[in-house]
Structure 1
Amino acid sequence: MLPDSALIFSFVLSALLLTLAPGPDIVYVAMRGLSQGWRAGVVAALGLITGIFVHITLAGLGLSVLLASSPILFTIIKYAGAFYIIYIGWQIARSGPLNVEKSAHHPTLGQIYRQTILMNILNPKVALFFLAFLPQFVDPTSTHATAQFIFFGFLFQVCALLVMGSMGIFAGTIASALKQNKAVGLYINRVSGSIVMLLGIFIPAKDIWDFVLKN
């Protein structure tokens, strides 16, 4: 049995607000769109949604609980994801002048899709987020609790795709308008790549800062 309409509306509103909030995912999609056009932005959004599906499945199976209970495993996966984000940012920064057409300097759409999936899967905080967020809207006493969990997970994916896809198209539209200016295009690629690398650097930097404050 599906949850009542008021609860569904409340969930959709919460999901949209959470997805719209500035964060690494929406920044990454925007940078992909700026560096390679709206198709790349949309494909990056699809990659993130696919990664979200994996995390929702893990959360539904309870594997995220195991991840949360193992600090060492959590740390290994977190830092692997951070270094992978830095690597992707470096690729964007060195890809040359902006060109929304096919270019040997840019990864293919298939490569972007696979890279984004892996980047998202290697972020254990996403798994923990769904483990914490989705159950807030699920009735634990219901015999359909698992079905409700899956239903809300699907709704979150739809909301995320709408927001992320729109951001990719918007950023790609700006890129298309600037594609004739190679100097501007090169600058955009370098800035976009640098921002993505900073997203990866932020993860270990924050941990070091927290450690300094505690000691």
Structure 2
Amino acid sequence: MEMLSLAILGLLIVISPGADFVLVLKNSVNQGRKAGVLTAIGVSLAIGVHISYSMLGVSYLISQNELVFSVVRYAGAAYLIYLGLASIFSASAELEPVAVGKKGINALHCLTQGFLCNVLNPKTMLFFFSIFTQVISSDTSNQHLALTYGLYMCVLHGLWFGTVATVFTSKTLQKHLLRIKKRLNQVCGAGLVTFGAVLAIKT
């Protein structure tokens, strides 16, 4: 598979709306730009984990072991549903401005949320494994190519979700977002619950 095709495929995967997008959006709107960017960094770090075990072939072993794969799948589903329900029940209609540099943000909490949201997603695991089986071979040069592509995906995730956090905390959008803050929280929460439910029931 040509590198250009892989690069385009990676871009399409990253910008496609999913649980990561919803979580970054939710944290950005509720806790400010810093929280959103930290969540984005957490997602990017999780991509590094997927890349590591894909290159080592561990994802193949997991995908072939129904029990292990089921544990990962249900853990990911439960975490998404938990995040979604927490967002729905804690949604506030108070019109507090979203601070670009809001203080009191728990950095580790935001990083952990982004990291777990992505690393517990078996779809992401299987995506990287399927791609890396096309890229990696016994040829050393292909190993370097795989590592380069992995770094590209890490950076791409960080840049894209960092941009989402920045855009949705801009002053231009703040006045519009504040009017629908509670509804947006509920929609994001419902989205996370839906992603989790689909992940749990999909075979």
Q: What do the CA deviations read for 1:26-52 (whole angstroms, capped 9, x no partner)? A: 233223323333322222211111111
Cα pair distance change 1:30/1:142, threshold 3 Å: same
Rg comparison, structure with higher value: 1
For 1:35 and 1:206, the matched residues in 2 are separated by 31
* 1:150 equivalent among 141, 144, 147: 147
User: Gaps (5+ residues) in structure 2?
Assistant: none
Cα pair distance change 1:98/1:85, threshold 3 Å: farther
Count of matched residue pairs: 197
User: Gaps (5+ residues) in structure 1?
Assistant: 1-5, 208-215
Q: If the length of structure 2 is used for normalisation, what is the TM-score?
A: 0.82
For 1:124, the equivalent position in structure 2 comes to 122
Counting only pairs closer than 5 Å after superposition, residues 1-215 of structure 1 correspond to structure 2 as 7-93=2-88, 94-96=90-92, 97=94, 99=96, 100-101=98-99, 108-138=106-136, 140-173=137-170, 176-178=174-176, 181=178, 184-207=180-203
Q: If the length of structure 1 is used for normalisation, what is the TM-score?
A: 0.78
Q: What do the CA deviations read for 1:142-190 (whole angstroms, capped 9, x no partner)? A: 22332222111001112222222222222233763357x5x63333322
> Residues 25 and 168 of structure 2 are in contact (CA less than 8 Å); yes or no, is this contact kept in structure 1?
yes
For 2:58 and 2:161, the matched residues in 1 are separated by 26
For 2:183 and 2:103, the matched residues in 1 are separated by 17
2:140 partner SS = coil
- Taking only the aligned residue pairs, the percentage that are identical comes to 28
> Residues 44 and 113 of structure 1 are in contact (CA less than 8 Å); yes or no, is this contact kept in structure 2?
yes
> Residues 135 and 149 of structure 1 are in contact (CA less than 8 Å); yes or no, is this contact kept in structure 2?
no
